[in-house]
Amino acid sequence: MARVIHNLLLFVIRLALKIRVLGYWSLIYAYCALCTIVALLKLWWNIVLRPTATFQWVIRETPPACLNDTSLGTHCYVRIKESGLRFHYVAAGERGKPLMLFLHGFPEFWFSWRYQLREFKSEFRVVAIDMRGYGESDLPLSTECYRFDYLVTDVKDIVEYLGYNRCCLVGHDWGGTIAWLFAIHYPEMVTKLIVLNCPHPSVFTDYALRHPSQLLKSSHFFFFQLPRFPELMLSINDFKALKALFTSRSTGIGRKGRWLTAEDLEAYLYALSQPGALTGALNYYRNVFSSLPLSHNHVRSPVLLLWGERDAFLEQEMAEACRLYIRNHFRLNIISGASHWLQQDQPDIVNTLIWTFLKEGEGRKSYRN
């Protein structure tokens, strides 16, 4: 009798798990369908208002001068033996100094760290990479090539290629997600972790499922699951949607005096208008639902989390919740009036807070190999 009850309980548990998984994926596909309908309505409205301009966009042939600014560093390339991919990065500061590695988010590239490259090159070997699928790094088009484990391994291989066994790791947005994961899986290689406007992945998963408001702000995660159509919507009207991400009143850089110049904006359009560039960038999203939740999630490095108060995509409540997963010193700074594009919006404040964090605890000697 006991065995029958035991088997019945196992059956119920397995059935409940299957129903939960089915409900999870049903929610995802239903939300994808809803986002698709909204996007189709936007496309139709664009065609009505601008029938000739809607399907016109220009591939930028020549990089703007700001991308060759020598004060930002030297353009370098490395081919990783493990993956066979070639990565582009910009490096400044003396070789042999402690390594500070920067990981950008969507839809950016190394250029988003220009203020930090200038600031920290005096005491660090600063390196801002074009992540897999971005900028001048290789752009594998298969969605499978953007699994979390591959993206984390890229960081490990680049750190070791540069001649280091540890670094101060700085990440924003998607780069922040990879930075969190790298610190979880390779704690011995991260002396200090600095994340901008990106919650711990486990915090994001738990919070989004319990807060419809965050689910709504994350609607692009669902829309980007579709093949090809998101690339079209980001391209129409000469990449109007991409321009709006950085410049609109609701999502763009909000601080007067830090708005992107026309040349800065062209730098982003130069990178993202190249063949395959949008697909590479969007493929980060196309693996996310099969990669979460995490099996390991504790961070043992000291962590600085910087958060723009006006982030249009991520709710501020997630920032404090990250403390649950950190087994070391944790500092959180909410920056008033700052947007999601924090390191470009408020570079002076960001740089000052990073310096303060770097000087805490063990001091800068702890960064040396």
Looking at residue 364, what is its pLDDT?
41
Work out the mean pLDDT of the chain and round it to a whole number.
Answer: 89
Assess contact for 120 and 92: CB atoms under 8 A.
Answer: no
pLDDT value for 23: 65
Nearest-angstrom CA–CA distance, 195 and 200: 9
367 is catalytic: no
What pLDDT, on a 0 to 100 scale, did the predictor assign at position 52? 82
- Does pLDDT of 152 surpass 80? yes
Contact in structure between 88 and 76 (CB atoms under 8 Å): yes
Does residue 117 sit within a domain? yes
Structure tokens at 326: 């950190």
User: Can you give the pLDDT at residue 176?
Assistant: 98
Task: Give the C-alpha separation, 181 to 152, whole Å.
Answer: 7
In contact, 130 and 112? CB cutoff 8 Å: no
Task: From the candidates 164, 284, 285, 367, give the one annotated as an active-site residue.
Answer: 285
Among residues 130, 138, 154, 173, which one is catalytic?
173
For 23-33, write each residue's pLDDT tens digit. Answer: 655 666 676 77
**Greater model confidence, 47 or 289:** 47
Q: What is the DSSP secondary structure assignment for residue 123, as one 8-state letter?
A: T
237: number of Cβ within 10 Å: 17
Element (H or E) spanning 198, and its range?
none
What pLDDT is attached to residue 175?
98
| CATH number of the domain to which 355 belongs | 3.40.50.1820
Task: With respect to residue 319, please indicate whether it lies within any of the assigned structural domains.
Answer: yes
Q: Where are the beta strands (DSSP E) in the chain?
A: 74-79, 86-92, 99-103, 125-129, 167-172, 190-196, 303-308, 330-335
- Evaluate whether residue 35 is within a structural domain: no
Give tens-digit pLDDT for 264-301: 999 999 999 999 999 999 999 998 877 766 667 899 99
Residue type, 12: V
Q: How many helices (H) and strands (E) does the chain have?
A: 14, 8
Q: Is residue 108 assigned to a domain?
A: yes
Which amino acid, one-letter code, is at 326? I
Closest CA relative to residue 28, chosen from 248, 255, 211, 288? 288
Helices (H), 142-191: 148-161, 174-185
**Known active-site residue 154:** no
Question: Is 99 contained in some domain?
Answer: yes
Output helix, strand, coil percentages for the chain, rounded to the nearest 5: 50, 15, 35
Angle at 192 between CA 188 and CA 195, to 5 degrees: 120
Please give the C-alpha separations between residue 293 and each of 11, 24, 137, 155, 289, in angstroms, as whole numbers. 23, 12, 28, 21, 8
Cα distance between residue 152 and residue 296, in whole Å: 14
Q: How far apart are CA 369 and CA 366, in angstroms?
A: 8
Residues paired with 102 in a beta bridge: 128, 170
pLDDT of res. 43: 84
Percentage of the chain modeled with pLDDT above 70: 87
281 falls within a domain: no
Banded pLDDT at 215 (limits 50, 70, 90)? confident
- Residues 170 and 179 sit within 8 Å (Cβ to Cβ): yes
Q: Has residue 282 been placed in a domain?
A: no
Instruction: Report the C-alpha gap between 219 and 215 in whole angstroms.
Output: 6
134 classed as catalytic: no
List 88, 104, 200, 340, catalytic entry: 340
Contacts (Cβ under 8 Å, ≥6 apart) of 236: 43, 46, 54, 55, 57
Averaged pLDDT for residues 81-97: 94
Classify residue 279: in a domain, yes or no: no
Domain that holds residue 307: 65-209+287-360
- Structural domain total, the chain: 1
- Please report, in angstroms and rounded to a whole number, the separation of the first and last CA atoms in the chain: 63
Q: pLDDT: is 127 or 225 the higher one?
A: 127
